[in-house]
Amino acid sequence: MGLDINVLIADWAWLGKVPPRERLSRLRDAWYADETGLWDHDAPVIEGGWDWPRGPHSTSFAVYEFRGTLGSFKAHFWAGERWESVRHHADPLVRADLDSLLLGLIWGGPDGEAEHMDPGFFGDDPSGTHGVLLARSPDTVRGLASTSDRVRPRLGGLREAYNEHAAVSRGWVSDFDEFTTLLDDWGRVLSEAARRGWGVVGLSE
């Protein structure tokens, strides 16, 4: 689990208009573009905020900086693990919504087999999706954003169960507040992408 993750929202009118097999290279080329991309530029990283490219792609995509994760996928992985520890003690409605939300984003599910990429998003050749951890189209994003909005007001009821069954003294997502902060950040990503009609992509570099 030494992966990092960069979570982006991308303009579907810009990304979706090229053939699926060309979308990943289009996104990476814009991200790494000299002078105008995001890679290695000197803008300060603001946790809980957006990093936008410059130049011709300044309105085409943005990267969200999750709070308290240092860019590591470990926080997201362990959020799924903590959820597995507490889900059977959750209210059934909360459990159903959080199952759907986390299965759609970062959790492998009880059998560890959940897919986090919409079919055809980057084409059907697995060799062309190296480093892709998440790829959701605008339609899927809207559904996930709705689920996030629905479950957010009910998360407080999980605190006692989380403290009893999932909290640890050290490690990633060790307490309930870290868990809800990560979920809140995902909610921000989904709501912004849904508002714009954009897709969401998670890349490991």
Q: What is the mean pLDDT of the chain?
A: 92
2 band by pLDDT with thresholds 50, 70 and 90? low
pLDDT confidence of residue 57:
87
Backbone angles phi, psi at 45, to 5 degrees: -80, 125
pLDDT confidence of residue 23:
95
Q: What is the mean pLDDT of residues 59-86?
A: 95
Amino acid at 105: L
Q: Contact, 82 vs 106, CB < 8 A?
A: no
Residue 12's contacts (CB-CB under 8 Å, 6 or more residues apart) are 137, 138, 197, 198, 199
**pLDDT single digits (tens) 167-194:** 999 999 999 999 999 999 999 999 999 9
Q: What is the mean pLDDT of residues 116-144?
A: 92
pLDDT confidence of residue 43:
59
**pLDDT single digits (tens) 100-124:** 999 999 999 988 889 999 999 998 8
